[in-house]
Chains A and B, each alone.
Chain A
Amino acid sequence: MEASANSGEKMARFERLVLPHLDSAYNLARWMTRNSADAEDVAQEALLRAFRFFDGFRGEDARVWLLAIVRNTYLTWIRRQSPQQNATEFDEHLHTDLELSLTPESDVLRRATLEQVRSAIEALPPEYREVILMRELEQMSYKEIAAATESPLGTVMSRLSRARSMLRQRIANERRTEVKQP
């Protein structure tokens, strides 16, 4: 009797603190896996883990706590999908060229279609994609992103800076090819 009362309490607390962030969890999983079936798998596994480990939750920011779990679940998942492939294909070429490229006009960026923005984000390497998502779609602060990605603040800042440069370049390129095509 006592056990069931406790677990009912746990469930109520979980529903109150964690479940409101289900969309955030799903959004992150969806952007990282890039398709809805895998996103549901990853999000479901993450939420179940969150529930299992909920006793260890000490009342910090529940969204940050949950997103850190989603992220770890995703990392485990991606390793299972392709054990040979390193989780991040590092695009050195892109990195070195970026600083030299011209700053795309603000207008070009403003007029990008939803589809162009979506594919540009999806093309980002995972560790850059996640900071863009957390910053722009989740509106998280640098400190919250650092906590959710378990990285130092400096790493978050340099990744965000790189991610935006890459994103800007990709969107501008897509716009340009679109204009060239008759």
Chain B
Amino acid sequence: MKLALLLAGILVLVVLGLLFRLQVLNAIYSGSTKRQIGGSNKVNGLLMMVFLVLGGAAFAWSYVAYHKETLIPVASDHGVKMDSMFWLSMGVIMIAFVVTQILLFWYSYKYQHQDGKRAYFFPHNNKIEIIWTTIPAVVMAILIFNGWKQWAAITGPAPKDSVVLEVMGKQFNWMVRYPGADQQLGNLNYRLIDATNEWGFDFNDQRSIDDLTPSEIHVPKGRPVLVKIRARDVIHGMYMPHFRAQMYAVPGMPTQFWFTPNKTTEEMRTETGNANFNFELACSQICGRGHFAMKMAVVVDDEQDYAIWLAKQQTFTAAHPEVLANLKPAATGAVTQAVAPVAKAAATVLQP
């Protein structure tokens, strides 16, 4: 079988080679090699138009056929504005695209070689140059100004009432934590990381003790959400496409991104007609073998459901009481009696 395929392949190549040879000999015999410009000039000129027309039609068709699949639903406040800016910019560049491509192929066809014709000697015209320098410059200025306004709003400080959570990227999954009753995230120290304490919680910091570590992200609809972002091994990319949110997770340099979800998961399920719809957190920056599988589910609840969900989450220390047992002897005894005062004492010791 393999041999037959190989032989067939060789045969095809031999036939192609012979055809090529025949073509060359024919060209020499007919004298076309001596002509500067042969009939193929017309053929190529025509193909320019064929390419323009058929290519343009195929492009238009592909857009109609695929644009539904391409439009990934948006579920954040800034995302809605970003989308309209995207399609506006696409519209602007599409005008430039259509005009320049049509001129390029149309001129190629129209001004193809004709015997006896002479090209028009037209080396420069400063007025035209100024016009077509100014127009793109003005259009760019408008686009820059719009983009800058949005950029400043999106990357500006998060509102005070934001829900705060923190994600940590590691090879190859995401982790998430929420502040506990104290509304504060505790200190982390990467040297304290081990198989149990995957975050590297520093339990000498009282604020760490009530941090919640759920297995998926929940956020309430309609409230700003501030995502603090860390990585513990290599760079990862925190990417939540439906919220139009992306920010690198960089080891040694915490980053953040805030957004306001404006649709609950349930609403999205109705809107998309997909009963299994889920928001997802993906990794967008190459991080190794499992890069393509770094997924965490994200759920947008309404305020009430969110509060219920949050109340059900366990603190890390409750799920892993042994981590407190490993603390320094002085602290350990105290923690078992009353967590708060000791931790406060520890914090005082740490703060000079």
A complexed with B: no
